[in-house]
Amino acid sequence: MFNVKVEVTLKKQVLDPQGLTVKHALESLGFNEVDEVRMGKFLELKIEAKDRKEAEEKLRRMCEKLLVNPVIEDYTYQIEG
Amino acid sequence: MFNVKVEVTLKKQVLDPQGLTVKHALESLGFNEVDEVRMGKFLELKIEAKDRKEAEEKLRRMCEKLLVNPVIEDYTYQIEG
């Protein structure tokens, strides 16, 4: 069993209206020292696999097929255990 | 200027319907080796501060006031120089 953490972020050149909204909300609360906010997704998965390599291959396929939109998103991951 | 990454996750005892939906979607695509999926948020912020300690204090206040719901969510962060 492998614990996997995936960070999915919008590519730099893609506009992030949700991040902008959060930035404005922070400003309205008095946090004027924030220059940029980008919102992404964070996923934690438990994957059964016989070894780390297999877990990684499965994860990559899951990301490509469902979890990530490769046109507008990037992802990074960490595999533990 | 500090780059900050924040991972916001639902507390373990809180049900995660979005994660369950993703798990079922993965199963319907043939990924039956996934035991659990938990969805969270991932934020990247650029914070102006004179030092790391100040950036960390600001970040914690932002999390407590807006970014995180402490009743149902936990968060971890990394501050990069």
Q: Which residues of chain B have pLDDT under 70?
A: none
Domain coverage including residue B69: 2-80
pLDDT given at position A81:
80
- Which of B63, B77, B41 is CA-nearest to residue A39? B41
Over residues A54-70, the pLDDT tens digits come to 999 999 999 999 999 99
pLDDT given at position B81:
80
Tell me the residues of B at the A interface, defined by beta carbons under 8 Å apart. Answer: 1, 5, 7-9, 19, 22, 25-26, 29, 31, 33-49, 58, 61-62, 65-67
CB within 8 A of B72, min separation 6: which ones? B10, B11, B14
E strand segments, chain B: 2-10, 34-47, 73-80
Cβ burial of A62 (10 Å; 0-12, 13-18, 19+) is: buried
Q: Which residues of chain A have pLDDT under 70?
A: none
Amino acid, res. A64: E
Q: What is the ipTM of this complex?
A: 0.91
Rg (CA), chain A: 16
Please count the structural domains in chain B: 1
Q: What CATH number is associated with residue B6?
A: 3.30.1280.10
- Kindly determine whether residue B22 and residue A66, on different chains, have CB atoms separated by under 8 Å: yes
pLDDT given at position A37:
98
